[in-house]
Amino acid sequence: MGIQSVGIVGAGQMGNGIAHVFALAGYDVLLNDINAEGLSNALKLIEKNLDRQVSREKISQSDRDSALGRISTTLTLTDLGQCDLIIEAATEREEVKQKIFDSLLPHLKPETILTSNTSSISITRLASRTDRPEKFMGFHFMNPVPIMQLVELIRGIATDEATYKSLHEVVEKLGKTAASAEDFPAFIVNRILMPMINEAVYTLYEGVGNVRSIDESMKLGANHPMGPLELADFIGLDTCLAIMNVLHDGLADTKYRPCPLLTKYVEAGWLGRKTGRGFYDYRGETPVPTR
């Protein structure tokens, strides 16, 4: 299965990073989003991030120019149908992802591989509703994509060996490392990470420590590069809550119950950096704890 053209659904935080690394690795990229402003902002951010890599001598100016030349955009989802590989990187809601795959199916080549960048949703369930469950996999990149080295490869129950090998080769060509995960809720990284973040929110909720003391404790006491509440703001509190709900529903264990304070922040629209407020307030020159 030779893969040269890659279609990416969603030009947000994850989609633009995925487009960046694929274009830099020599793939032809077609980036799709539901609005023109989203696509324009994604291209500006990709250009900015490539320029940063040039300034740090990570890549050459010709690498940067070639990568930008390989990225095309479209507002029409079905234009992606002729790509060899499609990566869905839309919002972390199963009904949205399913609608995307339903729309794409009639326009796909027989050999096209379908993947989802989902951080928690069942790959087997998503695949079962398509016409090619054997050519469907979880392809989970870490944020920020150009920097983080890991890609989780998640096989559904029907995924065939040829599809797995093809995607493993793609990860190697991207210069990243693949970790194979079984199709259980939240896979490996978020199965471990999200309960830790949720526990940090419980620690705040119960008054054991404030925002700053919790984050400083984990940075200086456990050598974490970011505190768990700072990291939650970076990921997005709505995404954290969605993954905790998947864990709680999928594993039926009370230890995965989302903290009520996390739910409250999401209800308030305080979703972290992307909205200007979360566990920190980002509207001033420096972030200020909100509790």
119 is catalytic: yes
Residue type, 210: N
Report CA-CA distances (Å) from 206 to 196, 200, 210, 257: 15, 10, 10, 15
Which pLDDT tens digit goes with each residue over 200-254?
999 999 999 999 999 999 999 999 999 999 999 999 999 999 999 999 999 999 9
Measured CA distances, 71 to 55, 85, 157, 170, 280 (Å): 21, 15, 33, 17, 35
- Is residue 72 part of the annotated active site? The answer reads no
With beta carbons less than 8 A apart as the criterion, state whether 179 and 138 touch. no
| Proportion of the chain above pLDDT 70, given as a percent | 100
CA–CA dist 27, 268 (Å, integer)? 41
Q: What percent of the chain has pLDDT over 90?
A: 97
Question: What is the tens place of the pLDDT at every residue in 31-49?
Answer: 999 999 999 999 999 999 9
Catalytic: 49? no
Where residue 252 falls (left for φ over 0; alpha for ψ -120 to 50; beta otherwise) is left
Per annotation, catalytic residue among 116, 119, 122, 198? 119
Strand partners, 28: 5
**Which residues face 272 on adjacent strands?**
277
Give 268's DSSP letter: H
- Is there a catalytic annotation at residue 190? yes
Identify the band that residue 1 occupies on the pLDDT scale cut at 50, 70 and 90.
low
Beta pairing class for 113-116 and 85-88: parallel
Looking at 140, 166, 198, 230, which residue is catalytic?
Answer: 140
Strand partners of residue 87:
8, 115
The one catalytic residue in 5, 116, 190, 198 is: 190
Q: Is 142 left (phi over 0), alpha (psi -120 to 50) or beta?
A: beta
| DSSP code at position 120 | S
Report pTM.
0.90
DSSP assignment of 175-230: T-EEEEE-SSTTTTHHHHHHHHHHHHHHHHHTTSS-HHHHHHHHHHHS--SS-HHH
Cα(167)–Cα(160) distance, integer angstroms = 11
Q: What is the pLDDT of residues 181-196, one digit of tens each?
A: 999 999 999 999 999 9
Q: What are 128-162's pLDDT values in tens digits?
A: 999 999 999 999 999 999 999 999 999 999 999 99
List the catalytic residue out of 88, 92, 152, 230: 152
